[in-house]
Amino acid sequence: MQTALSIAMDALAYGMALFIICIGLSLTMGLMRVVNLAHGAFAMIGGYIASWAARDLGLGYGFAILLAMLGTVLIAIPLERLLYRRIYDRSELSQVLMTIGITFCVIGITNYFFGPTLKTIPLPAELARSVDLGFRGIAGHRLFVIASGLVVAGGLWFLIERTGFGIHLRAAVENAPMARALGVRTEIIYAASFALAIGLAAFGGVVGAEFLPIEPYYALRYMVTFLVVVSVGGAGSIPGALAACLLLGAIDVTGRYLVPDFGNFFFYLAVILVVCIFPRGLMGRAQ
């Protein structure tokens, strides 16, 4: 029973960390129709910045997260203007190739500047200690990740469904020329949602660093995981991404606890089954 509970808590926290990173990718893929395989690279940049801020500048955890998000968005904006904007209406193959190229460049350049070692982000004392939930203790960091995931999910849902920006965004996705004709500045909407997606990637990279350690090949190692999660959830759907992250996170964590020598076997088996049964993802929309 104790084991089952601790597996469940770990799975929930891991799934939420995946969700924070992947929801940004789900937005770019579902709303802007860009297969951004470099999403993990932005999470990695966020992790590197946070690690640098916390360890070399001595900033607190919260400031490190803020700096990571801002810095990553600042790096991403010129990339959006110079590179991404040219592949918005190109084929999936072109998008995959260009974003794999960006990933490779990010890995090469990051390692040139920071060296090929694993980067840690020191946790503050409040998050490092265990919190008593009454029936059992749980690491404060896990709780923090779960809470952040819920806040991100709720905040995004509110932003997209209930605000003026969300209405413009949905209009631009549904029918860009018509939205433009009605006076919606689609380029600004796209740029803002791209920045939002990248900021979330950086945030997820930092808070998820306990599960997905920040290291030189981070962007490549988890590229497939992120892509798979989004495609299983159905690109562009927040509940779909949440369901996919929790389901695949649970399968992955449980598999690693109970049958560690199978590695990712059950994860990918589940992916194949889900995609075969739901070719558009769990909650994907018909295109």
Partner 1 sequence: MTGATLPHDTAPRLRTLGQDLLGLALIALAGLAGYALFPDNLAFLTRVVSVALLVLSLDLIVGYCGIASLGQGALYGTGAYAAGIACLHGVTEPFLLILIGAAAGAVMGLLMGAVMLRAHGLPQLVLSIAIVQLLHEAANKASSITGGSDGLSGMVPAPLFGVFEFDLWGRSAYFFGLALLILVFAALRFIVRSPFGMVCRGLKEDPLRISALGIRAFPVLLKMFAISGAVAGMGGALAAIATQVVGLDSVSFEISANALVMLVLGGIGHLYGALIGTVIFMALEHVVAAINPFHWMTLVGAVLIAIVLFAPRGLSGTLDEAARLLTRSRWRAGR
Give the chain's radius of gyration (CA, Å): 19
Q: Judged by CB under 8 A, which stretch of 102-110, 148-156, 175-183, 186-194 contacts partner 1? A: 102-110
Asked whether the CA dihedral 247, 30, 107, 110 is positive or negative, the reply is negative
For partner 1, which is the closer residue by CB, 107 or 246? 107
CB of 112 to partner 1, least distance (A): 6
Residue/partner pairs of 267-276 with CB below 8 Å, 24 or more apart: 268/228, 271/228, 271/232, 274/232, 274/244, 274/247, 275/231, 275/232
Residue 97 makes contact with partner 1 by CB under 8 A: yes
What value, to the nearest 5°, has the Cα angle with vertex 117 and ends 267 and 254?
20
Report CA dihedral (244, 247, 253, 255) to the nearest 10 degrees: -120
CB of 43 to partner 1, least distance (A): 17
Which tokens go with 227?
């892509």
Residue 75 makes contact with partner 1 by CB under 8 A: no
Among 1, 62, 93, 286, binds partner 1 (CB under 8 A): 93
List Cβ neighbours of 173 (8 Å cut-off, separation of 6 or more).
Answer: 30, 31, 32, 236
CB of 256 to partner 1, least distance (A): 12
Task: Please give the residues from 35 up to 74 whose contact with partner 1 meets the rule CB under 8 A.
Answer: 35
Q: Judged by CB under 8 A, which stretch of 67-75, 171-179, 185-193, 263-271 contacts partner 1? A: 263-271
Residue 198 makes contact with partner 1 by CB under 8 A: no
Residue 261 makes contact with partner 1 by CB under 8 A: yes
Q: Judged by CB under 8 A, which stretch of 91-99, 134-142, 204-212, 243-251 contacts partner 1? A: 91-99
Among 59, 77, 191, 224, binds partner 1 (CB under 8 A): 224
Q: How many residues bind partner 1 (CB under 8 A)?
A: 46
Among 15, 236, 240, 281, binds partner 1 (CB under 8 A): 281
Rounded Cα gap, residues 9 and 85, in angstroms: 40
SS3 assignment, position 139: strand
Helix or strand (DSSP H, E) at 97: helix 92-114
Report CA dihedral (112, 117, 122, 123) to the nearest 10 degrees: 110
Which residue ranges make up the site for partner 1 (CB under 8 A)? 29, 35, 83, 86-87, 90, 92-94, 96-98, 100-109, 111-112, 116, 216, 224, 227-228, 231-232, 235, 261-265, 268-269, 271-272, 275-276, 279-281
